[in-house]
Structures are given as structure tokens and as C-alpha cells.
Structure 1
Amino acid sequence: MTTTAGERAPDWSREQWQVRARSWVDAQLSRAGLRVTGPVQPRVRPWSLVWRVPTDGGPVWFKANNPGTVHEAVLIAALAGLAPERVLAPIAVDPARGWSLLPDGGESLRDVLGRDPDLAHWERALPGYAALQLASAPRADELIALGVPDHRPEVLAGLLAQLLDDRESLRIGDEDGLSPETYERLRAELPAYAERCRRLADIGIPATVQHDDLHDGNVFAGPDGYRYFDWGDASVAHPFGTLLVTLRSIRYATELAADDARLARLRDGYLEAWTDRYDRRTLVEAAGLAMNLGAVSRSLSWRRALDTADPARAEYADAVPGWLAELFEPTPL
């Protein structure tokens, strides 16, 4: 790895850490007038630990991020101030430690689609996410200053060059890594990739927060509307990069062809928020570029998430080279 965050990552299994975290949770709940009523239910991944905490006011959720995704805590607090109707307002955050405490968001869009797989649910969910991005765009520099990763088109080519120097993460020659041929092809692709980055930047659509993992499991669908959560993969980037994961997840869930007109309709419904400033042909071009370039963003977000000493990271290590190889896949739509 090229960074040393994994060496600094906390051992979430240590009793001392758990006592300290539980003390923080209890103190924050007490300030909110809540009391824990039962044992916490943990879920651990290499990039985060999540506790479901039962309280006398309903369940709440504690999340601790590893150093590679630590920016999530400060980001959700910032988004709650910028677009409070689009995210859950945290009960408390500790930005330095990457801790957050959130109320329960109710059922997810995945739950809703499980009962009613109508794409109209996505047609209603995507404009709200676009509105959140537009509300956040004027604060993009501030979000970067707070520690949100910078994946704007102006810097992506440089980030790709740095990533290609991280041969350990790319697992070159390993069964689940990049083949030497694909690696050399990526090296040769750098100038063309940089040119596509310049074209996307020149279109002029402002960078903003980009979730980078927006699928139906990361959207709450409650009576108060759609709210977007799980921001550990997020960056400040071209907004349309979101479509790479979102449209792909919808396509896989519905078994639609990549060029299905229903996916194009979802894309266009999302892009509608920018039509007061750009013509649709330009927006469609920008979306195609952003989705293509976004494979690098996904690879980078996975590298950050897996920058940990946790042995469980090996289960996911193929995601870093796997997403990078997606750069050569045709962009849908």
C-alpha cells in the first residue's frame, strides 16, 4: 500500500476501544434524552464497524470508520446543514475519530422495490439526490478542506497515475489482480484518459459531493421522502459519476440490457436538474464521460476502504484492480 492508514486503524475488537466507544454513545444519547435498553448488535467490515443500538426512543446506529473512510462523519454533518431534507440529521459526530450516531431511517428503497419493483421509485428518488448535489456544489472547496477526497476531473488523471504506481494494491499478475497486459494497457491509456478529463472539466458543470455507491440499499424511502446515506465512498467529483454505480445496480437488479430505454429515462430524469443551465445533448455527453472516468474513482475509494491491517480485507482486495479494469468496458447508454 502507498499509505499507512492501516497501521493507525483502531482494533475494534479490543475491550478498551469498545468501552470508550460505548461511553461516547451513552453520553450522546443522554444529551438527546435517550437511554439504551438492550445489547448492541454489531456488524463489522474492514472499512467500518456499525452498532445497532436499541433505545427507549427506537433504534439508533453508531458507526466507526477506518482511517480511509474517516471523512464520512464530517461529511454527513455538513450535508445535514446543506440539505437537511435529503439526509438523516446525526445525533452526534466525532470527526476526528470518524464516529457518527444516527437515528433509524426506516425502510430502504431496496425494501420497497422488493415489494414493488417499479422503476418509478427510482424516478422519484434520483431528482432528490440531484437536488442535494446542487445544494452542495457551492461548498465543494470547503468539503475538500474538511477531508472529503478530491476526485474532480482536473485531478483524476494524476490520481490514476499515482494508482498505477501502487502495484501492491493492483496485485499485478495475481489471479485476482490486473494482468501484466492490462496494466501496460492502462499505462498507455493515461494520455487519452487525461484528455477525457480535460473535456469533462471544460464542459463546466460544477463539482460537488458524489456518493459513488448510490444503490437501492443506500437510500431510505420513508414518509418524509428519500434520504441518502452511507457516504464512506463519497468524494468531491463531477456529479454525474454517480450514474456509473446507480445505473449498473439498477440494471443488474432488473436484468435490463445496458442500452434499455428505461435506463436512459432514469438518466435523463436525474439530469433534468441541470437543464436550466446546459442543453440536454451536453448533459448526456458529460454523463457518458463521467461514467467512464468514474471507474478510477471507484478503484480509489476501494483502496481507501481497504487501507487497513484487518485480514478480512483480502476478501475484497480484487475490487481495486477490478474497477480499474472497468475503464476499458463500454459505457452504457
Structure 2
Amino acid sequence: MTTIAGERAPDWSSEQWQVRARSWVDTRLSQAGRRVTGLVEPRVRPWSLVWRVPTDDGPVWFKANNPGTVHEAALIATLAELTPERVLTPIAVDPEQGWSLLPDGGESLRDVLARDPDLAHWERALPGYAALQLTTAPRADELVALGVPDHRPEVLAGLLAELLDDRGSLLIGAEGGLSPDLHERLRAELPSYAERCRRLADIGIPATVQHDDLHDGNVFAGPDGYRYFDWGDASVAHPFGTLLVTVRSIRHAKKLAADDTGLARLRDAYLEAWTDRYDRRTLVEAADLAIGLGPVSRSLSWRRALDTVDESRAEYADAVPGWLEELFVASPLQSDS
């Protein structure tokens, strides 16, 4: 399954589309022995439509992705097959249409942290995510064939070069966009960026699924353990790129300095899963490289998310150039090794 760049997203507001989607939801719920008991509650963003659907066995969640994130449906089905203890098992998916129907996941890690803001919760959540990545790594090529974007270090510099040619997405010279000077500075940075990609690839840690938006709002924290959801930004990439968003979100929530020892402890809790294969110094080096390269992946994921004619995309358009500017910002995590 592949995504066609620029493909027009369905009109989620049209009665025809909503009738078709609702029929699909009703049929799949009936097959699962459930029935709808009330009105759906919609939430629409440029990259997806989500319905909260009340049923006689608790709420379920229907999601329709835009063409740029349509791979999410196939990805969550594959993850549920490979590592069912780490994700929600979908009630149904339609990979071609980018539709998924999921049970309710319960309380999020954000809910837990609101009551008890102890970083120990993250220390317990990150190893399970690392285990998911290790389990998925042998299927990386299969995920790419399913349409999950390829952001492996071997191709990332080429993707940056292509992105720099996309003047419309970068809003060069426009409000909220890249300045012409910064655009040229980024072009000049390409050889250095490519060299850092080569260094990361040469370390040899296998690529795998990389969530690319792993913050506390995208982790369920229930009695059965931590489960990771909302995979629309995901790619096949170096696993440690995850730390960019995760560490930034924790720093922001806790107002921590980059050299806070608690952040290093979280990094090490995550990296522990690879210590049977690599020494810790090598892992920290790889983490530093992956974090530094990560803004390009984030910029690319935002460009896909905004691959729609939805007028509301303008609200988020500065995210594509904004993440590229992060290439010149200090790492959100300074290693202590």
C-alpha cells in the first residue's frame, strides 16, 4: 500500500462519506457483538477525523486518516499482531481507506502524571516501548512496503534535500516560514547532516518503527501496563529518534534544564533494552546523533499530516519550517557520558 502525495482527502463533512463510514462502523461493531447506543462525538483535524462512539460495552474510537497519514491503519494492525501487549488490538481496520476502530484505552499517562508528576512513571513506560521497537525491527522492510514512511539514516539526508526544494511547504520568505537566509544556511548544512546520518547508520543499531510523537498524551497507563497509540506520525527510522519529542515534552511539562539528571536517567531507562548488544557509551552517542537528526523527521511528518486541502491546515503550516529551524537549536538532552 502506498500513499499518493497530494492525493485529495475525502470530504469528511459530506453526508455521503459519513453514511458510508457509519455503516462500516456499525457493521464491524455488530460483528464484534456490540451496538451503538448514542450519538458519535467528532473531532476533526487536517490529518484525521476521530469519532468517539458510545456502545453497550463502553466507548470505541473510529479514526479516518488523510492521505499523508493513511499508513496508520495498516501499522496498528501489524503492531497488534507482533506485540499485542504493547498496543490496543483494533476491532477492525481498513488499510486502503485509512480507517481504524479501536476499543477505549482508559487512562492516559498524562492523566496519571496530573495526579502524581513523578518521572518514575516515564521510567516504567519507556522500557515497554523499547521492547516494542526491538520486536518490530525484523519487520522494518515489511512496514515500509505497507506504506510506513522510510526515515532510516541511510535516506534521511536525501529526504532533507528534497524537502528544501519544497518552497511551498517551507513558506520561504512568508510569515511563519523560513527566511531566505536560513534556507540557504540549511542547504549549506546538507553535507554535515549527511555525514552525521552516515555516522549513525555505521553504529549498526537496526531501524524499526519510530512513533515520532511519543508524549504522555499518547500512552495509556492501565492495569494491564502501558500501551502506545496514535501512530499517524510514525516512520521506519532509527529507534532513538523517539527521544527528541519525548524528552522535549517532559522538559516542557516539568520545566527542566537540558542537563537535569532525571532526564539522563530516563534516557538510560530507555536505552537499557539495547545494552545486551552495545556498550552504554555507544548507545549514548547514537542517542545524541538520532536526537540531533530528528527535526527533519518531524518536519516531514508534519508535511504529510498537512497533505490535504482542508482550510484549517493553515493553522499548523508553520510546523514544517519550524521543525527545520530546530536543527540549529541545542539538543533537548545533553549527555553525561
Q: What is the TM-score of this pair, normalised by structure 2?
A: 0.97
Please list, as runs of the form range in 1=range in 2, the aligned pairs for 1:169-188 lying within 5 A after superposition: 169-188=169-188
Name the residue aligned to 1:41: 41
TM-superposed CA distance for 1:293, in Å, is 0.5
CA distance in 1, matches of 2:225, 2:163: 38
Name the residue aligned to 1:60: 60
1:231-273 C-alpha deviation (Å, 9 max, x unpaired): 0000000000000000000000000011111000000110000
Name the residue aligned to 2:327: 327
Q: Does 1:276 align with 2:276?
A: yes
1:59-98 C-alpha deviation (Å, 9 max, x unpaired): 0000000000000000000000110000000000000000
Name the residue aligned to 1:250: 250
Check whether the contact 1:5–1:308 (CA below 8 A) recurs between aligned residues.
Answer: no
Q: Read off the aligned partner of 2:147 and give its amino acid letter.
A: G
Please list, as runs of the form range in 1=range in 2, the aligned pairs for 1:85-234 lying within 5 A after superposition: 85-234=85-234
Name the residue aligned to 1:264: 264
Check whether the contact 2:4–2:67 (CA below 8 A) recurs between aligned residues.
Answer: no
TM-superposed CA distance for 1:99, in Å, is 0.0
Q: Read off the aligned partner of 2:296 and give its amino acid letter.
A: V
Percent identical residues? 85
Q: Read off the aligned partner of 1:280 and give its amino acid letter.
A: R
Check whether the contact 2:151–2:237 (CA below 8 A) recurs between aligned residues.
Answer: yes
CA distance in 2, matches of 1:188, 1:11: 41
Q: Does 1:298 align with 2:298?
A: yes
CA distance in 2, matches of 1:114, 1:238: 31
Check whether the contact 2:212–2:245 (CA below 8 A) recurs between aligned residues.
Answer: yes
Contiguous gaps of at least 5 residues in structure 2: none
Q: Read off the aligned partner of 1:231 and give its amino acid letter.
A: W
2:317 match: secondary structure: coil
Check whether the contact 1:200–1:289 (CA below 8 A) recurs between aligned residues.
Answer: yes
2:248 match: secondary structure: helix
CA distance in 2, matches of 1:141, 1:203: 19
TM-superposed CA distance for 1:18, in Å, is 0.1
CA distance in 2, matches of 1:6, 1:219: 31
1:327 match: secondary structure: helix
Check whether the contact 1:7–1:309 (CA below 8 A) recurs between aligned residues.
Answer: no
CA distance in 2, matches of 1:221, 1:176: 36
TM-superposed CA distance for 1:174, in Å, is 1.2
CA distance in 1, matches of 2:285, 2:322: 25
CA distance in 1, matches of 2:278, 2:32: 45
Name the residue aligned to 1:16: 16
Name the residue aligned to 1:237: 237
1:97-146 C-alpha deviation (Å, 9 max, x unpaired): 00000000001000000000000000000000000000000000000001
TM-superposed CA distance for 1:312, in Å, is 0.1
1:287 match: secondary structure: helix
2:36 match: secondary structure: coil
Q: What is the TM-score of this pair, normalised by structure 1?
A: 0.98
TM-superposed CA distance for 1:319, in Å, is 0.2
1:8 match: secondary structure: coil
TM-superposed CA distance for 1:6, in Å, is 4.4
Q: Does 1:31 align with 2:31?
A: yes
CA distance in 2, matches of 1:328, 1:285: 19
Check whether the contact 2:7–2:67 (CA below 8 A) recurs between aligned residues.
Answer: no
Q: Read off the aligned partner of 1:326 and give its amino acid letter.
A: E
Check whether the contact 2:110–2:216 (CA below 8 A) recurs between aligned residues.
Answer: yes
Check whether the contact 1:51–1:62 (CA below 8 A) recurs between aligned residues.
Answer: yes
